[in-house]
Chain A
């Protein structure tokens, strides 16, 4: 492993924010850290860039000047124009011969160079933030939820920036709440409550679901046995033993199913406080 977190545990007081979490960051690869609000994604990324000191485990990263980091909120000055934001990044990183014009083209904001950061749409702001983090050609790019709340067009463009950086040799770590974005990475780490639920490529995670997953139409309702949840109008069921309840049709789990199964399995393991997805 070139860079990344290796068995990292972070405690804030008595609360365990991360428990034995490993997140690799390899050159020319995109690692996607997936989880809901409070899963520990930000702590993970902040540990990686050195803003949080882990209590246990090892963190390796390139020197500070070779890292580009975009926090979940902010990352740009709303009262400076697009060009002024980039100019500030250039001078504060001390980049020689940085091509602000080329970066404007790359992030698709050439037509908005004189607009104030705060007046841009959410998607444009995120693209500008990523542009600021890329201006010095970092070896490690760390993006905290760049696509949250961003509309689909900007989301596609943001992922093109990510892929482009990786294709150019940068190691990229991206946090997201959208499970389907795990497919965008060469590797995904599913986080919940500070623990790793599953990791590997999206295909590996889907293929590694223990037991069996089945489906049933909405009007047939649920029956005892297994853990049930909704998928569209119908039902999905997971049986850890592999024996599906009567009247269900086995399906090959996709990444979405796998993420839910992983969370259910973890909840069983720790005796989670809710009654599970099944509803009587």
Chain B
């Protein structure tokens, strides 16, 4: 295992940010850590990187305790990119290269058109590529990324994923923290964190499992939306198609309610998407550990 958390808990005073989390990142895999803000993702990463000591449990990097030595094999791209915006691409590159004891290497060919540009003046897409290149320059065994493609257009994001996949195919383990479903869907394996706990793990399909939603089609979607909303359903509109996150058993209730109001509707049971599954996991997790604070139907509040 490249990175491993064993029963890691982190407490800040009376607040528990991470509760008995187990997770691993192996060579060649892209692992996603999916969770809402405050779910404990960043805290867990800080423990794995050795920036924070856990209150209980163990963190291991390459089989050892995180130390100055293990850092030589870690590449990290925080959400803020970790680049100096008032230095050029080349200057950023050579600073990182020297810090990792690789002074004298050249900026990769695909970034040379921007070599003398200040990082602060680059488009976000290019700046992210620079951050990736800098973090990968010392051929890390573990590559840690915080929302690696946020703010970048679809093609730019695809190119960043190419970099990530290439690193994984060369044997690195990749750990991506995100709350963006598009990024989560690109990962081989996910850990879904809710309130400091890992509530689900596995490939995207495993995380979704056999969860379903009701899909409502109606000529007057606006009226249907308002009717369902009035009845307390956490209905979501996708264009003029409505999706209601309730079990299949509620199909007759939903149909009846709308038909009773004089609407002509088609209601079908559909497999849930990752976002809907995530909301359900969130609702379940909160219901299991904090029965008073949870709401039905996955419409839990932040």
Contacts and interface: CB of A to CB of B under 8 A. Distances in A.
Contact of B239 (A121, A156, A183, A256): A183
A204 B180 CA distance: 24
Contact of A192 (B153, B181, B223, B275): B153
Contacts of B275: 152, 156, 180
Contact of B156 (A36, A163, A203): A36
Contacts of B235: 160, 163
B236 interface: yes
Interface residues of A, number: 58
Interface stretch (A7-15, A55-63, A209-217, A230-238): A230-238
Interface in A140-179: 148-149, 151-154, 156-157, 159-160, 163-164, 166-169, 177-179
Interface in B15-69: 30, 36-38
A121 B165 contact: no
B279 A156 contact: yes
B226 interface: yes
Given A260-B155, A275-B110, A279-B166, A152 B179 contact: yes
- Band of interface residues on B: 35 or more
A38 B237 contact: no
B186 A148 contact: no
B301 A153 contact: yes
Contacts of B229: 160, 164, 167
B188 A233 contact: yes
A110 B234 CA distance: 18
Interface string B163-194: 00110010000000001111001111000000
B225 interface: yes
Given A37-B125, A151-B302, A185-B239, A229 B159 contact: yes
A277 B158 contact: yes
Contacts of A156: 234, 236, 275, 279, 299
A201 interface: yes
Given A36-B156, A177-B153, A230-B165, A152 B237 contact: no
A137 interface: no
A192 B157 CA distance: 13
Interface string A17-44: 0000000000010100001111100000
Contacts of B278: 152
Interface in B250-299: 275, 278-279, 282, 299
Nearest to A37: B124
B85 interface: no
Nearest to B279: A156
B37 A232 contact: no
Contacts of A128: none
Contact of A230 (B161, B225, B226): B161
A279 B165 CA distance: 12
B180 A178 contact: yes
Contacts of B234: 156, 160
A233 B162 CA distance: 10
A108 B229 CA distance: 14
A239 interface: no
Best-buried of A39, A177, A185, A187 by chain B (most CB within 10 Å): A177
A180 B158 contact: no
B237 A163 contact: yes
Contacts of A201: 239
13 contacts: A36-B151, A123-B302, A148-B151, A153-B301, A164-B226, A166-B237, A167-B229, A177-B153, A183-B239, A184-B237, A230-B161, A233-B165, A256-B154
Given A151-B38, A178-B182, 4 more contacts: A35-B153, A164-B225, A259-B153, A260-B155
Interface of B: 30, 36-38, 110, 113, 123-125, 150-159, 161-162, 165-166, 169, 179-182, 185-188, 221-223, 225-226, 229, 234-240, 275, 278-279, 282, 299-302
Interface of A: 28, 30, 35-39, 108, 121-124, 148-149, 151-154, 156-157, 159-160, 163-164, 166-169, 177-180, 183-187, 192, 201-203, 218, 229-233, 256, 259-260, 263-264, 267, 273-275, 277, 279
